Amino acid sequence: MNTAELTSIEKRHVWHPFTQMRDWEATDPLFIVKGSGVRLFDSNGNGYWDANSSLWVNVHGHGRREIDEAIKRQVDELGHSTMLGLTHPGAALLAQRLASIAPPGLTRVFYSDSGSTAVEIALKMAYQYHCHRGQSERSRFVALEESYHGDTIGSVSVGGIGLFHGIFRRLLFPVDFAPSPSRFKDAGEAASKLEAMLSRGGSEIAAVIIEPLVQAAGGMLLSPPGYLNIVRELCTRYGVLMIVDEVATGFGRTGRMFACEHEDVTPDLMCVAKGLTGGYLPLAATITTDDVYSAFLGDFSELKTFFHGHSYTGNPLACAAALASLDIFENDGVIASLADKIDYVRARLQKIAKLPHVGEIQQCGLMSGIDLVKSTGVPYPFAQAVGAKVCRRARDLGLITRPLGNLVIFLPPLVSTIDEIESMLTIIEEAISQVTTDMEP
Ligand SMILES: *Cc1c(COP(=O)(O)O)cnc(C)c1O
């Protein structure tokens, strides 16, 4: 079937995520048909850099032989069974592997399928944990303004981005929001409101949930160093569980395997997803401690069971991909290779920062955001969609990424070489320069 025929079918029947479909219907979609390394190819044979890792999931590149082969081997054995009442080798081996690389003390792995479900599970586990310990009044959660934890109703409840989720306000459970740590230079100051909330309402709070180091979808907002550590101390002091959402930051994105490692923090619950399978298949995990796990043990009739599970939880193909991805981390010394790339990006972004319509640049490891400004200190109006225009121009120049408002996101697969990173940032620089010059004054 040719692209024109596919286009008419697609426009009649598909509804896209985070997309104004009227705009979508007015333009011709790009059909991606092949990936190789850090390049994607469309149905007309055009190639593009994958500069946002296929929405933050890809780690070792597309068509990565080791992962392809692991999935093929697994599909010859078993495509899917269930984790309800049964298990399979990949689930056991991957859980052992995750426990061995996670911050020390995280030993138990509960599988699901997406970052949002990993967060839902952490919230439910935290509440039920307190119930089993005779503290069912601990039913409230504390989250941070500007945070993003996914799109299901529970994860939206603890999300702090009004732009995406404001319309659903009436459907959400009440959550206490502390200020975004990015508003402060000093970690102690950043945590002072949070501390006040915990000391005031401490006995009703089940857990604090945070994105470590960087509030990614909120605009790559960086926390001051030491903040994560202070949150850990506060949670311990007030008997509140600490949930760390490593969905964006996990698997090398910040320069370490997990962002928690930068401050030697072990949370009570850690959520991972995006990069877990190297960006191949949907798989997530909520990883927790012996302490949380053992609170759920009891006679069947006590109903201490954690009543939660999805049809495709712990899918064998996805587990095989995840194990192959972790092998690559080990065999290729991926984490050790990142520091040079991160430094290169930092230096190159400083040059881009000199463009007249570039404001602040945020970077945490291999995740960065370039803020576009009308002039210094004056943001472009939302309706001008300058971020979307720049990304659209970048696509014409052979690079794919998506903006967050006026922020152009650069988040290349970890496998990208410095030459590839240079090629990508050259296109981004060119696209920003062209679009912002066209839009003047
Ligand atoms: C993407 C993301 C999620 C949601 O993950 P999905 O797999 O899209 O449901 C949750 N938390 C963070 C920090 C994320 O970046």
The first and second tokens of residue 360, run together, are: 């602040």
What would the pLDDT profile of 85-124 be if each residue is shown by its tens digit? Answer: 999 999 999 999 999 999 999 999 999 999 999 999 999 9
Q: Using a 6 Å cutoff on CB, does residue 150 contact ligand 1?
A: yes
Atom index in ligand 1 nearest the CA of residue 150 equals 4
Mean pLDDT over 1-11 rounds to 94
Nearest of 122, 192, 124, 181 to residue 147 by alpha carbon:
181
The first and second tokens of residue 385, run together, are: 């969609």
3-state secondary structure string, 79-99?
Answer: CCCCCCCCCCHHHHHHHHHHH
CB 219 within 8 A of CB 148: no
The first and second tokens of residue 265, run together, are: 């923090």
389: pLDDT strictly greater than 70 = yes
CB 286 within 8 A of CB 131: no
The first and second tokens of residue 424, run together, are: 């990508």
43: pLDDT strictly greater than 70 = yes
Alpha carbon dihedral 105, 114, 227, 339, in 10-degree steps, equals 90
Rounded to the nearest whole angstrom, what is the distance from the C-alpha of residue 117 to the centroid of ligand 1? 9
Atom index in ligand 1 nearest the CA of residue 217 equals 15
158: pLDDT strictly greater than 80 = yes
- DSSP state letter for 28: P
Domain segments of the chain as ranges: 31-59+334-439, 66-331
Q: Using a 6 Å cutoff on CB, does residue 128 contact ligand 1?
A: no
Q: What is the pLDDT of residue 161?
A: 83
Angle between helices 418-439 and 334-352 (to 10 degrees): 30
167: pLDDT strictly greater than 90 = no
The first and second tokens of residue 328, run together, are: 């690559």
Mean pLDDT over 162-179 rounds to 88
Rounded to the nearest whole angstrom, what is the distance from the C-alpha of residue 248 to the centroid of ligand 1? 6
440: pLDDT strictly greater than 90 = no
Mean pLDDT over 289-296 rounds to 98
Mean pLDDT over 268-275 rounds to 98
Atom index in ligand 1 nearest the CA of residue 147 equals 13
Enter the CATH code of domain 66-331. Answer: 3.40.640.10
Q: Which CATH number fits domain 31-59+334-439: 3.40.50.300, 3.90.1150.10, 1.10.3720.10, 3.10.129.10?
A: 3.90.1150.10
307: pLDDT strictly greater than 70 = yes
> Which residues, at least 6 apart from 69, have a Cβ–Cβ distance to it below 8 Å?
324
What would the pLDDT profile of 327-348 be if each residue is shown by its tens digit? Answer: 999 999 999 999 999 999 999 9
What would the pLDDT profile of 11-25 be if each residue is shown by its tens digit? Answer: 999 999 999 999 999
Q: What is the pLDDT of residue 441?
A: 65
The first and second tokens of residue 143, run together, are: 């989250």
Cα–Cα distance for residue pair 250/396, rounded to 1 Å: 31
| Bridge-based pairing state of the strands 39-42 and 47-50 | antiparallel
Cα–Cα distance for residue pair 165/151, rounded to 1 Å: 8
| Bridge-based pairing state of the strands 176-178 and 399-400 | unpaired
41: pLDDT strictly greater than 90 = yes
Query: Could you give the residue ranges of the DSSP H alpha helices within 46-161?
Result: 53-56, 65-77, 89-101, 115-132, 153-157
Entry pTM: 0.97
202: pLDDT strictly greater than 80 = no
> Which residues, at least 6 apart from 157, have a Cβ–Cβ distance to it below 8 Å?
141, 172, 173, 175
Q: What is the pLDDT of residue 1?
A: 87
Cα–Cα distance for residue pair 146/270, rounded to 1 Å: 19
Cα–Cα distance for residue pair 401/179, rounded to 1 Å: 29
Q: Using a 6 Å cutoff on CB, does residue 116 contact ligand 1?
A: yes
Confidence of residue 375 (pLDDT cuts 50, 70, 90): confident
Q: What is the pLDDT of residue 151?
A: 95
Mutate to test the pocket of ligand 1, among 53, 123, 149 (most ligand atoms within 8 A of CB): 149
Q: What is the pLDDT of residue 377?
A: 83
Q: What is the pLDDT of residue 411?
A: 98
CB 270 within 8 A of CB 286: yes
What would the pLDDT profile of 405-422 be if each residue is shown by its tens digit? Answer: 999 999 999 999 999 999
Cα–Cα distance for residue pair 245/117, rounded to 1 Å: 11
Rounded to the nearest whole angstrom, what is the distance from the C-alpha of residue 155 to the centroid of ligand 1? 9
Confidence of residue 201 (pLDDT cuts 50, 70, 90): confident
Mean pLDDT of the chain: 96
What would the pLDDT profile of 210-254 be if each residue is shown by its tens digit? Answer: 999 999 999 999 999 999 999 999 999 999 999 999 999 999 999
Cα–Cα distance for residue pair 31/399, rounded to 1 Å: 14
Nearest of 435, 432, 377 to residue 408 by alpha carbon:
432
* Backbone dihedral angles phi then psi of residue 98, each to the nearest 5 degrees: -65, -40
Per-residue CA distances from 377 to 182, 351, 372, 434 (Å): 17, 19, 10, 21
